Structure formats: C-alpha cells, structure tokens
Structure 1
C-alpha cells in the first residue's frame, strides 16, 4: 500500500514528468499530467508519441520506471487517449 494520499502525490509526480519530458521531446513527443487517482497516475502522451508503436514501452519503462524509482515502487501509469480526459473512470 502506498503511504501517500493522491493529493500528496500530485507535486512529486509532476516533478518526475518534467524530468522525463525532455527525453520525449528529443523524438518529437510530449507528455501531460492529468491526475492521480487511487495511486494510479494518468497522463497523456502527445506529439510523435500518439500512435507510435513504442509508446507503451516509453510509458512503462520510461515514465513508470522513473516514478517508481523516485516516489514509490507501487505506482502505475495509464495513458489517457486524446478526448478521454474527462472519462478516466472508464479506462
């Protein structure tokens, strides 16, 4: 169990996202923080990451890995497709 509330996770998660953002930008991609809910981080990949075959690996082995190392090993990340920002409960 993660010893932080979702609200306590928001700022540290945003900091990690800013940390990985330059790596994505090198390939024309981007990432936007949406929210944290039940210790799951919701982000949206943008730019060249949309539709890229490697975007799942980027999310899992780039973003999620960094969140687990910097914040807590039980965090998970979900990419929210464009247009689904208000429907994360359906993901």
Structure 2
C-alpha cells in the first residue's frame, strides 16, 4: 500500500513528469499530468506520441519506471485517451 495520499503525491508526480518530458519531446511528443487517484497516475500523451506504437513502452519503461524509482514502487501510470480527461473513473 502506498503510504501517501493522492494529494501528497501530486507535487512529486508533477516533478517526475517534468523530469521525463524532455526525453519525450525529443521524438516530438509531450505528456500532460491529469490526476492521481488511488495510487494510479493518469497522464495524457500528446503530439507524436498519439498513435505511436512505442507509446506503451514510453509509459511503462520511461514514465512509470521513473515514478517508481523516485517516489514509490507501487505507482502505476494510465494513459488517458483524448476526450476522457473528465471521465477517468471509467478507464
């Protein structure tokens, strides 16, 4: 169990996302923080990442790996499809 509330995780998660953003931007993409809910970090890939076959790898081995190393090993990342930003409970 993650020993932090969702609210406590927001700042550190945003810092990690800012840390990995330059790597994603190298390929013409971007990442936007949406929310933290029950230990899951909801983000939205943008730019060249949309529809890219490697986007799942970017999330798992780039973003999620860095979040787990820097914050807590049980964090997970969920990509929010465009238009679903206000409906993450149904993902």
Partner of 2:8: 8
Partner of 2:69: 69
Residue by residue, what CA displacement relative to the aligned partner does 1:6-32 show, whole Å, maximum 9, x if unpaired? 000000000000000000000000000
* Structure 1 segment 3-82 matched on structure 2, within 5 A: 3-82=3-82
Unaligned runs of 5+ in 2: none
4+ aligned runs moved over 6 Å, structure 1: none
What TM-score does the superposition give when structure 2 sets the normalisation length?
A: 0.99
Q: Separation in 1 of the partners of 2:27 and 2:58?
A: 11
Structure 2 SS opposite 1:66 = helix
Residue by residue, what CA displacement relative to the aligned partner does 1:56-80 show, whole Å, maximum 9, x if unpaired? 0000000000000000000000000
What TM-score does the superposition give when structure 1 sets the normalisation length?
A: 0.99
TM superposition shift of 1:81: 0.3
Q: Separation in 2 of the partners of 1:39 and 1:6?
A: 7
Unaligned runs of 5+ in 1: none
